[in-house]
Amino acid sequence: MATSRLPPATLTLKQFLRRQQVLLLYRRILQAIRQVPNDSDRKYLKDWAREEFKRNKSATEEVTIRMMITQGNMQLKELERTLALAKS
Number of structural domains the chain divides into = 1
69 occurs within a structural domain: yes
Tens digit of each residue's pLDDT, the chain (88 residues): 556 676 667 889 999 999 999 999 999 999 999 999 999 999 999 999 999 999 999 999 999 999 999 999 999 999 999 999 988 8
The Cα 48–Cα 54 span in angstroms is: 10
74 occurs within a structural domain: yes
The Cα 79–Cα 77 span in angstroms is: 5
DSSP summary character for residue 12: P
5 occurs within a structural domain: no
- The domain containing residue 40 runs over which residues? 15-86
- State the pLDDT at residue 6: 65
8 occurs within a structural domain: no
Amino acid, single-letter form, for residue 49: A
25 occurs within a structural domain: yes
9 occurs within a structural domain: no
- State the pLDDT at residue 88: 82
